[in-house]
Structure 1
Amino acid sequence: MFHRIKGLALALAAPMLLIGCAFSPGKFTSTLTILADRSFTFSYQGEVIAVDVAKDMGDAFKGMGKDGESDKKKITAALLRDATLQEDEDAPAIEDEEAAKDDAEKEAKFKAIAEALTKEAGYRSVAYRGDGVFVIDYQISGKLTHNFLWPYNLDAEVIFPFIVLELRGQDAVRVKAPAFGETDSPGEGKSSGAKAKLDGTFTLITDGELVSQNNEDGAKTEGNRRTVTWKATPLSKDAPMAMVKIAPLP
Structure 2
Amino acid sequence: MKRLLIVLCAPLLLTGCLLSPGRFVSELHLLDNDRFAFTYEGEIEMLALSKLAKMAEGEEQVFEAECYDDEWDIRECTSAELEEQRAQWDAEAEERRATARREAEEMRVLLGDIDPNDPAAADEIAARMQRQRGWERVSYIGEGLFDVEFAVEGTLTHDFVFPTLEGMLGATPFVSVNLREDGKVRVDAPGYFSRAKDNPMFGSASIAKMALAEPDASGEAPRIVRPEGTFTLVTSGRILANNTDEGPAPHAQGQALEWTIGPATHQPPTALIAFDR
TM-score, normalised with respect to structure 2? 0.62
In 1, Cα distance between equivalents of 2:21 and 2:228: 8
Deviation string, structure 1 residues 47-86 (Cα, Å, up to 9, x no partner): 001224898xxxxxxxxxxx99xxxxxxxxx99x924997
Q: Equivalent residue for 1:192? A: 206
**Cα pair 1:172 1:244 within 8 Å, conserved:** yes
Partner of 1:126: 138
Match for residue 216 of structure 1? 245
Q: What amino acid does structure 2 have at the position aligned with 1:24? A: S
Preserved contact between residue 149 and residue 161 of structure 1 (Cα < 8 Å): yes
Matched, 1:204 2:233: yes
SS of 2:120 mapped into structure 1: helix
Measured after TM superposition, the shift of residue 36 of structure 1 is 2.0
* TM-fit CA distance, 1:129: 1.0
Flag the 1:188–1:165 CA change in 2: closer, same or farther, 3 A. Answer: farther
The one-letter code sitting in structure 2 at the alignment partner of 1:115 is A
Partner of 1:58: none
Distance in 1 separating the partners of 2:10 and 2:116: 22
- Superposed, 1:1-250 pairs within 5 Å as 15-16=11-12, 18-19=14-15, 22-52=18-48, 82-83=85-86, 105=117, 107-157=119-169, 159-181=171-193, 191-192=205-206, 197-223=226-252, 225-248=254-277
Alpha-carbon distance between aligned partners in 2 of 1:137 and 1:14, rounded to the nearest angstrom: 29
Tell me the amino acid that sits aligned with residue 197 of structure 1: R
Question: How far has the Cα of 1:145 moved from its partner?
Answer: 1.2
| Residue 181 of structure 1: how far off its partner (Å) | 1.5
Aligned CA RMSD, in angstroms, stands at: 3.8
Contact 2:161 2:175 in 1 (8 A): yes
Corresponding residue number in structure 2 for 1:93:
none
SS in 2 for 1:105: coil
SS at 2:32 equivalent: coil
Shift of 1:130: 1.1
Alignment CA distance shift 1:84-1:29 (3 Å): farther
Q: 1:106 to 1:226 in 2, by over 3 A?
A: farther
- Unpaired segments ≥5 residues, structure 1: 1-9, 56-66, 69-77, 88-102
| Identical counterparts, % of pairs | 29
Moved more, 13-22 or 226-235: 13-22
Q: Which position in structure 1 is the counterpart of 2:67?
A: none
